[in-house]
Amino acid sequence: MTKEDLINAIAKKTGIEKVTIQKTIEAFMESVRDSMVTGSNVYLRGFGSFIVKKRAKKTAWNISKNTTILIPAHNIPAFKPAKTFITKVKTQRKPRPIPGTDDDGSGVKNK
């Protein structure tokens, strides 16, 4: 699902104009981004957490120059889904239809 698909889905469910939804989603993403840049995590109960993970410094190998390099410690953004979110995805996930087969995913070709 792309951002545009998400906007369309929310507009269809709520009846709110797409422009308003787009501005809201943009503001949400900017707020999450700004929070994480400052090192703060964002917690959304029942959905998940946008967290900043700290990576330790490490030594790596540059194969093109045949030398070792030092990668400094750094932070990376990550998403940790909530337990209820994980459970819902595990139990209610619908298989994607395979092109050239029927919709139930049984693998039987359409006639």
For the chain, list the domains and their CATH numbers.
Answer: 1-40 (no CATH), 46-92 (4.10.520.10)
Over residues 69-93, the mean pLDDT reads 92
Residue 9, pLDDT score: 95
**Range in 20-24, 45-49, 62-66, 105-109 with the lowest mean pLDDT:** 105-109
Mean pLDDT of the chain: 89
Q: Which pTM does this prediction carry?
A: 0.69
pLDDT of residue 78: 96
- Cβ(51)–Cβ(41) under 8 Å? yes
pLDDT, greater one: 46 or 111:
46
Q: Specify the pLDDT at position 92.
A: 85
Edge-first strand order for the sheet with 48-55 is: 42-44, 48-55, 74-81
